[in-house]
Amino acid sequence: MNLNEVDPAIIEKAKAWLSENYDEDTRKAVKNMMDNDPSELVECFYCDIEFGTGGLRGIMGTGTNRMNKYVIGSATQGLANYLRICYGPDFEIKVAIAYDSRNNSQFFARIAAEVLAANGIKVFLFDNLRPVPELSFTVRHLGCQSGIVITASHNPKEYNGYKVYWNDGGQLVPPHDSNVIDEVQKITSVTEVKFSGNPENITIIGNEIDKAYKDVLLKLSLSPDVIARQQDLKIVYSPIHGTGYKLIPEVLKEFGFNNVFLVEEQITPDGNFPTVHSPNPEEKAAMNLALELAKKVDADLIMATDPDADRVGLGVKDTHGNYILLNGNQAASLLIYYLIKKWKANGKLTGNEFIAKTIVTSELLKDIAVSHGVESYDVLTGFKYIAEIIRRFEGEKQFIGGGEESYGYLIGDFVRDKDAVASCALLAETAAWAKDQGMTMYEMLINIYHEYGFYLEDLISITKKGKSGAEEIQKMMDDYRSNPPREIKGIKVLLMKDYKLRKETNLSTGEEKVIELPKSDVLQFFLEGGSKITVRPSGTEPKIKFYFGVKGLLPDKSKFEEVNAKMRIELNEMIEALNLN
């Protein structure tokens, strides 16, 4: 590609970044792309990064489609303008800011703090990296109107991101998310961004917030007597070079677990994530060092968290004594089962409690809850929608816990985002509870399948990078939407749910119903026999995701492996039928 082939609108956007309003390094980078790499120029300027399910997220670099000080500055100026619209010119607006271990995270956090301060907004900036859930807690604890975390969660090292929170400690939901974007889009020049001024509006916070957060976390424990008996439970933990390195070992110790082994190679925060390709506990490769340590010490439980410590991966021994990694649906099911069982045993269930899960998460959570008289609510993908439903029922119903298949869980309502710190503590307590009854967590999971039905799920993610990739993903969604499959591997498709059109269609009769959830580019296909397929473009990565689920029965626990193998074949055949390669 040469420059003459580039869309003139893209060239004009890029030329604006050659002005004196941008620093010298930025101007040099833009000029180099224009002179030597027009293809890269297109990738960096063909669009502006938009808020998805997790806010801003993208590759670090120069341009409107990259994470840099100017994109961060414009987003923060837009947020500041919106906060002033919402609260008025004289209201003392407060915003808390945290950041993770990624390269440039501290720098971006300082940029955001300075822009807010220059706009007359009081800022509470953490003195060092902190987990996402602690920021969510801090927003409520300090009575802030908003919060920001600089993180790209579990993405590869070249990414960074910008999560925005509202006054309830949850990430932005409609209409606030689109309204903030509207304000950002009104900024036509970086000269409109107040990058400096009023440094006295920035207050540094740290250990005092850690203590307040941990004090509330400790109140979540439901079985202190069990922990006392099982205090030597062997736990392996890794923060994968992220923010969990300090708080999670401290919280496990304060819960009463005295036998925690840390993966030393991954304990130091490092934005280059030198021991992994991607710091994502959903991927086995990121858990390898933890698995190796577990074998050495004969651990009962393995846990690892992503860089911003909102997701946790879980490993346990199977019935043959081999270590395996559980998926997010399995971990969430174990956690919800334990929470509800203990709430009942402790006399805390009144009939006014609920859990929440995303639409792509296993129906097993709902089955467990409903069987105990606990309501279960489905929400769109993105933990911000679980926070939204907690807020909706605040003062009316009690939230026990919730989760999503992508390794995010929440216990209690003092945090309004997925919380790997609390999850590690309660998953360890779940393991101790199981061991106290002579079971492993894996055997506990088999008992759950026996009691409620055997659910087997899998996720296929297809990466499509850049502008052409985004167009290809959209075409795939359009094709499924306009020409839905009528059968898959000989199994009839009964129902299609289109969350973008908010329409549920019976594919046999054509009967339609309205879906009572906000619009989202998600399609679900429900098959005869209870299988389910969900198709969804990721809101934070250049991927399209296919969620597959089948359901069976496990009347005899001794037949678990046989039933599991049979269902795995059924699941694989369903995946193959869609021909996703």
On whether both 146 and 294 belong to a single domain, the answer is no
Q: Mean pLDDT across the stretch 78-105?
A: 97
Q: Which structural domain range is residue 300 located in?
A: 219-452
Global pTM reads: 0.93
Catalytic residue from among 74, 101, 105, 153: 153
What is the rounded radius of gyration, in angstroms, for the C-alpha atoms of the chain?
Answer: 24
On whether both 112 and 168 belong to a single domain, the answer is yes
Closest CA to 82 of 167, 191, 16, 190: 167
Average pLDDT, the chain: 95
What is the secondary structure of 510-563 as a DSSP string? --EEE--S---S-EEEEETTS-EEEEEE-SSSSEEEEEEEEEE--S-GGGHHHH
The per-residue pLDDT for range 257-278, each reduced to its tens digit, is 999 999 999 999 999 999 999 9
On whether both 286 and 404 belong to a single domain, the answer is yes
Residue 212 lies in a domain: no
Confidence of residue 52 (pLDDT cuts 50, 70, 90): low
User: CATH no. for residue 283?
Assistant: 3.40.120.10
The per-residue pLDDT for range 466-484, each reduced to its tens digit, is 888 889 999 999 999 999 9
- For 67, which DSSP code? B
Q: What is the pLDDT of residue 70?
A: 96
User: CATH no. for residue 557?
Assistant: 3.30.310
Residue 395 lies in a domain: yes
On whether both 389 and 439 belong to a single domain, the answer is yes
On whether both 438 and 461 belong to a single domain, the answer is no
153 part of the active site: yes
Query: Minimum mean pLDDT among 157-166, 444-453, 461-470: which range?
Result: 461-470
* End residue of a domain, out of 428, 452, 476: 452
Residue 281 lies in a domain: yes
Q: What is the rounded distance in angstroms from the CA atom of residue 574 to the CA atom of residue 576?
A: 5
The per-residue pLDDT for range 324-337, each reduced to its tens digit, is 999 999 999 999 99
On whether both 338 and 411 belong to a single domain, the answer is yes
The per-residue pLDDT for range 394-444, each reduced to its tens digit, is 999 999 999 999 999 999 999 999 999 999 999 999 999 999 999 999 999
On whether both 375 and 459 belong to a single domain, the answer is no
Query: Minimum mean pLDDT among 14-23, 55-64, 178-187: which range?
Result: 178-187
Residue 214 lies in a domain: no
On whether both 299 and 403 belong to a single domain, the answer is yes
Percent of the chain with pLDDT over 70: 99
Closest CA to 61 of 125, 112, 14: 14
Q: What is the rounded distance in angstroms from the CA atom of residue 474 to the CA atom of residue 491?
A: 26
**What three-state secondary structure class fits 149?**
strand
On whether both 244 and 325 belong to a single domain, the answer is yes
Residue 377 lies in a domain: yes
On whether both 141 and 6 belong to a single domain, the answer is no
Go through the chain and tell me how many residues it has. 581
The per-residue pLDDT for range 182-200, each reduced to its tens digit, is 898 898 889 999 999 999 9
On whether both 289 and 404 belong to a single domain, the answer is yes
Count of domains for the chain: 4
Q: What is the pLDDT of residue 489?
A: 86
On whether both 173 and 283 belong to a single domain, the answer is no
Residue 213 lies in a domain: no
